[in-house]
């Protein structure tokens, strides 16, 4: 309780590590990434250090002990995560304190942009979370995925995680999940939209390991060229108050592509509760809403999933459809492949930079759907008049025609002489030479989906 | 010679049909599409009427005879298409007079936009022509396509058109060919670029019939999953003065896709000389430069084609690469899939419309590469502030995930009160929700390739 009073902005800032309490106030100024340690001020530094192995050395421990101001009281009870039977969200798992919470119930949170560039594969604890419903209580041993609609004379089948692992070859893919509403807050600056106000970090990149949906279906007798099968429905264990599960569908041809997995591992660990334990369908190149978590059902069909989330959401209307208009959901197709996207993670808008630094260091991510690799990322110091090419970090195992992972970019942009602020812009180009629109004028839609206009960050220049 | 004096703009305008000479001056005003018949003024109407079967009726002939003013002199020799051995272009075929010639040698011409909307499949005579070299003199009986690089122990093979037809199943695809430089003239309005100044009609759509490249290669022993084959080189019979043929390549995976054809028919006729007689490789969804005409060679390889046209052209640089910079061709990938595109065909810029008409009728095309279907086309009367959805005409046999044909759009845009001109804009959205950039600012490139910013047409409103 005492520690909590010494949070970010307090006169003296404390953190705890195990049972020790440390005053980091004087240290922050000199620490590389001092702003990051401030995220832990007033609480435990342990979950942050878990992300950075370089802290677990004797030298670091010695420095830390030099800042010690006391110890936690072992008799003070740890805060209890109470289960409240009247609150369906009370069994949700604990989360990393650095996540930027957009909505607590259902839990929706962005990766903190300041930590996003530290890892090509987003650590599981920092992977953005987009839940539509309470996290279901699943069990590794008893969980089953049911396969339906296999065709005449073929019975439905239920497979456990163990059976999937035993029967099919293991594959992995490093692949992005991005929410259809990512950067909605940015689109709202153009004109009001409805939905969770994601800033631009409802996107993460992980290594997913599992079995190919294709291998499972072919083994169960499905012909990859069967033209009567058009869509594959997916359902999760998460249910709404009426008992209806979350559902979505993907085109059959995509479902039969080698990159689509029934995954059981995320970054070489069992998939965490928030991300679909024990099974998630990973559909690289496609919007997150189709990558169904807590997977319980795969159904072959000649039509799209009738689920609300397939039929009445995740479709981007024309800018001509205004608030108050009746929404003709059938007039627009369900979102599958994502269009090209990029955004800055660093610096934050409003940051002040010294003119004598000469340059502004910028960094962020770029990604496009459908496996279309990023062929360049360009940044502008002046609102788009001039452009510089950024350095790109990509998955060396993926090529430009099958790039499921994101591209991280970094650049040092020269500070033009005489300016007191810079309107920095980023835009990317994909393998099909698709680019991002300059503004939301042509893509604004009432639900604020798929905002991918040029991302701007303004910094101040100090003499 | 007398007829030639009565061309467009003359006091009395004449056309010929077979041996008859007709004065169409009074007729033009009342004829639907009177502006189109003017294209024939001072010459033969025959090639135009060949495009419109509805003219070949007794009624029309009767109307025509009423306008007869004389007959051609049968003793006057027809103009001779002289073959000049010193001019490699002198054996080029005759062309339809309506084509808008951009460059005579090598021949490059756009489809006239005023005729573009009359047919979903562009008539062969009006299909845009993009030749890099003189049209080669090919012969149906002796033409061969050679297949090389089939792998260890497999000999190269040469196939005639007859052998292709006999050995493999016939398939067809309705598919667009678009020049990588289409709309370059429009990009030049933003900033100077280098290349042929295509306005926006270096794009056409035809039905192509032939055999699947996939079927040929599999029959010759190629494994579709062979990971050592990365690219398929294509060469044509057209050669430069040093004897080097036109060449290009496409990724092996694309080459093995069912839509890729070795075509011998275009709109159910033998492919005309200008378009690749007798064989053209049709690669739906990909830039025209890879759809090699007069096909003589298919070569499997682990690298891209070394051809100039693959390595040193048809790559779009960043806007940061300026005139005078050394071009690092290896820094940008060769163009394959085309990004999303749309443009008006009607009305022409500068057209005057009566306010009392209430609306302006607009029409044009939209298309995207990679088989990504057009999901909507929107038009704006006011530079992009407000949008209306246009009606779309699409190939009923193609779906949004495999749409190789174009989309023709039509809309009647209300004339806003009080305006004396309208800045009309069109933009399209494809199945991956990719859209067009608003201006050339982010896509301008020194070679003026892949211009797909919003297309504007300005009309005047007359009270």
Residues of A in contact with B384 (CB under 8 A): 441-442
CB contact under 8 A, B337 and A431: yes
The structure tokens listed for B404 are: 């190789």
Q: Which helix (H) or strand (E) holds A343?
A: strand A341-346
Note if A81 is an active site residue. no
Residue-level pLDDT at A80: 67
CB contact under 8 A, B319 and A387: yes
CB contact under 8 A, A319 and B378: yes
A384 vs B337, B431, B441: nearest CB: B441
Q: Which helix (H) or strand (E) holds A35?
A: helix A34-37
| Residues in CB range of A155: below 8 A, 6 or more apart | none
The SS3 call for residue A58 is helix
Chain A interface, Cβ < 8 Å to B:
251, 253, 316, 318-320, 332-333, 335-340, 369-370, 372, 375-376, 378, 384-389, 400-401, 427, 431-439, 441-443, 450, 454
Rounded to a whole number of angstroms, the distance between the first and last alpha carbons of chain B is 42
CB contact under 8 A, A432 and B336: yes
* Residue range A9-51, pLDDT digits in tens: 889 999 999 899 999 888 887 776 667 778 888 998 888 887 7
Q: Name the residue with higher pLDDT: A400 or B32.
A: A400
What confidence tier does B57 reach under pLDDT thresholds 50, 70, 90? confident
DSSP A96-150: -TTSEEEETTTTEEEPPHHHHTT-SSPPGGGS-EE-SSPPP---TTT-EEEEE--
DSSP A402-433: S--S-EEEEEEEEPPTT-SEEEEEEEEEETT-
Spatial distance between the Cα atoms of A350 and A363, rounded to a whole number of angstroms: 15
Task: Indicate which residue of B6, B179, B431, B455 is catalytic.
Answer: B179
| Residues in CB range of B251: below 8 A, 6 or more apart | A401, B230, B231, B232, B336
Residue A114 has pLDDT above 90, yes or no: yes
Interface A-B: count of C-beta contacts within 8 A: 110
Backbone φ and ψ for A30, nearest 5 degrees, come out as -95, -10
Task: Indicate which residue of A6, A96, A179, A275 is catalytic.
Answer: A179
Tell me the mean pLDDT in the region B360-370.
Answer: 98
What confidence tier does B198 reach under pLDDT thresholds 50, 70, 90? very high
B320 vs A378, A400, A443: nearest CB: A378
Note if A179 is an active site residue. yes
Residue-level pLDDT at B29: 75
CB B203, CB B341: distance < 8 Å: yes
What confidence tier does B81 reach under pLDDT thresholds 50, 70, 90? low
CB B435, CB B429: distance < 8 Å: yes
Please give the mean pLDDT across all residues of chain B.
94
CB A287, CB A335: distance < 8 Å: yes
Spatial distance between the Cα atoms of A214 and A220, rounded to a whole number of angstroms: 10
Task: Indicate which residue of A6, A130, A184, A233 is catalytic.
Answer: A130
Note if A345 is an active site residue. no
Residue B426 has pLDDT above 70, yes or no: yes
Of the candidate ranges A55-64, A214-223, A435-444, B269-278, the one whose mean pLDDT is the lowest: A55-64
User: Exposed, middle or buried, A277 (CB in 10 Å: 0-12/13-18/19+)?
Assistant: buried
Residue A252 has pLDDT above 80, yes or no: yes
CB contact under 8 A, B333 and A386: no
Q: Residues in chain A, how many?
A: 463
Q: What is the phi-psi region of residue A384: left when phi exceeds 0, alpha when psi lies from -120 to 50, beta otherwise?
A: left
Rounded to a whole number of angstroms, the distance from the CA of B78 to the nearest CA of chain A is 49
Note if B121 is an active site residue. no
* Residue range A398-453, pLDDT digits in tens: 999 999 999 999 999 999 999 999 999 999 999 999 999 999 999 999 999 999 99
Residue B166 has pLDDT above 90, yes or no: yes
CB contact under 8 A, A401 and B376: no
* Residue range A130-172, pLDDT digits in tens: 999 999 999 999 999 999 999 988 999 999 999 999 999 999 9
Residue A230 has pLDDT above 80, yes or no: yes
Residue B135 has pLDDT above 90, yes or no: yes
Q: Which residues pair with A461 in a beta bridge?
A: A353
What confidence tier does A101 reach under pLDDT thresholds 50, 70, 90? very high
What confidence tier does B196 reach under pLDDT thresholds 50, 70, 90? very high
- Cα of B58 vs its chain's centroid, Å: 34
Residue B389 has pLDDT above 90, yes or no: yes
Find, in chain B, the residue whose alpha carbon is nearest to that of A330.
Answer: B375
The structure tokens listed for B367 are: 């298309």
Chain B interface, Cβ < 8 Å to A:
251, 253, 316, 318-320, 332-333, 335-340, 369-370, 372, 375-376, 378, 384-389, 400-401, 427, 431-439, 441-443, 450, 454
CB contact under 8 A, B442 and A378: yes
Spatial distance between the Cα atoms of B208 and A298, rounded to a whole number of angstroms: 38
Chain B contact probe: residue of A214, A402, A413, A435 with most B CBs at under 10 A? A435
Q: In Å, how far are A228, B141, B165 from B159, measured between CA atoms?
A: 36, 11, 10
Residue-level pLDDT at B387: 94
Residues of A in contact with B370 (CB under 8 A): 370, 432
Note if B31 is an active site residue. yes
Q: Which residues pair with B430 in a beta bridge?
A: B374
Determine the longest span between alpha carbons in chain B, in angstroms. Answer: 78
CB B275, CB B129: distance < 8 Å: yes
Residue B191 has pLDDT above 90, yes or no: yes
The SS3 call for residue A255 is helix
pTM of the model: 0.92
Of the candidate ranges A45-59, A319-333, A343-357, B58-72, the one whose mean pLDDT is the lowest: A45-59
Spatial distance between the Cα atoms of B297 and B147, rounded to a whole number of angstroms: 6
Rounded to a whole number of angstroms, the distance between the first and last alpha carbons of chain A is 42
Of the candidate ranges A314-328, A376-390, B382-396, the one whose mean pLDDT is the lowest: A314-328
Rounded to a whole number of angstroms, the distance from the CA of B104 to the nearest CA of chain A is 30
* Residue range A275-285, pLDDT digits in tens: 999 999 999 99
CB contact under 8 A, A433 and B376: no
CB contact under 8 A, B318 and A376: yes
CB contact under 8 A, A437 and B432: no
Tell me the mean pLDDT in the region B13-35.
Answer: 84
Half-sphere CA count of A188, side-chain side, radius 13 A: 15
Q: How many helices (H) and strands (E) does chain A have?
A: 10, 25
Residue-level pLDDT at A32: 65
Rounded to a whole number of angstroms, the distance from the CA of B408 to the nearest CA of chain A is 18
| Residues in CB range of B62: below 8 A, 6 or more apart | none
Spatial distance between the Cα atoms of A208 and A174, rounded to a whole number of angstroms: 6
Please give the mean pLDDT across all residues of chain A.
94
């Amino acid at each position: 309780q005492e520690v909590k009073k010494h949070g970010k902005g307090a006169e003296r800032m404390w953190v705890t590590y195990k049972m020790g309490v440390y005053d980091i106030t004087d240290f922050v100024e000199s620490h590389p990434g001092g702003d990051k340690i401030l995220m832990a001020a007033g609480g435990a530094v342990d979950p942050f250090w878990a992300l950075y192995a370089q802290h677990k050395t004797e030298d670091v421990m010695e420095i830390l002990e030099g800042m010690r101001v006391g110890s936690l009281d072992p008799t003070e009870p740890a805060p209890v995560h109470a289960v409240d039977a009247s609150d369906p969200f009370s069994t949700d798992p604990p989360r990393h304190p650095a996540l930027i919470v957009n909505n607590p119930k259902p839990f929706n949170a962005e990766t903190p942009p300041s930590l996003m560039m530290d890892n090509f594969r987003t650590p599981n604890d920092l992977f953005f979370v987009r839940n539509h419903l309470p996290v279901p209580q699943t069990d590794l041993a008893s969980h089953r995925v049911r396969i339906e609609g296999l065709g005449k004379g073929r019975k439905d089948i239920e497979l456990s995680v163990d059976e999937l692992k035993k029967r099919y070859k293991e594959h992995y893919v490093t692949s992005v999940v991005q929410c259809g509403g990512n950067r909605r807050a940015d689109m709202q600056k153009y004109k009001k939209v409805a939905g969770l106000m994601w800033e631009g970090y409802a996107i993460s990149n992980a290594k997913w390991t599992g079995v190919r949906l294709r291998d499972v279906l072919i083994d169960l007798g499905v012909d990859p060229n069967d033209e009567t099968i058009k869509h594959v429905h997916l359902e999760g264990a998460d249910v709404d108050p009426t008992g209806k599960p979350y559902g979505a569908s993907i085109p059959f041809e995509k479902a039969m592509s080698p990159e689509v997995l029934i995954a059981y591992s995320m970054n070489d660990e069992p998939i965490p509760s928030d991300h679909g334990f024990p099974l998630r369908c990973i559909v690289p190149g496609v919007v997150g809403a189709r990558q169904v978590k807590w997977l319980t059902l795969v159904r072959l069909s000649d039509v799209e999933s009738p689920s609300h989330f397939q039929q009445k959401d995740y479709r981007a209307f024309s800018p001509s459809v205004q608030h108050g208009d009746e929404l003709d959901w059938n007039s627009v197709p369900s979102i599958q492949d994502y269009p090209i996207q990029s955004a800055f993670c660093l610096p934050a808008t409003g940051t002040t930079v010294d003119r004598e630094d000469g340059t502004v260091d910028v960094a962020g991510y770029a990604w496009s759907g459908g496996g279309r690799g990023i062929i360049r990322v360009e940044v502008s110091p002046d609102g788009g008049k001039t452009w510089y090419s950024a350095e790109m970090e990509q998955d060396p195992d993926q090529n430009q025609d099958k790039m499921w992972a994101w591209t991280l970019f970094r650049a040092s942009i020269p500070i033009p002489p005489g300016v007191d602020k810079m309107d920095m812009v980023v835009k990317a180009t994909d393998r099909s030479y698709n680019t991002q629109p300059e503004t939301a004028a042509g893509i604004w839609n009432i639900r604020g989906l798929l905002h991918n206009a040029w991302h701007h960050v303004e910094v101040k220049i100090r003499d």
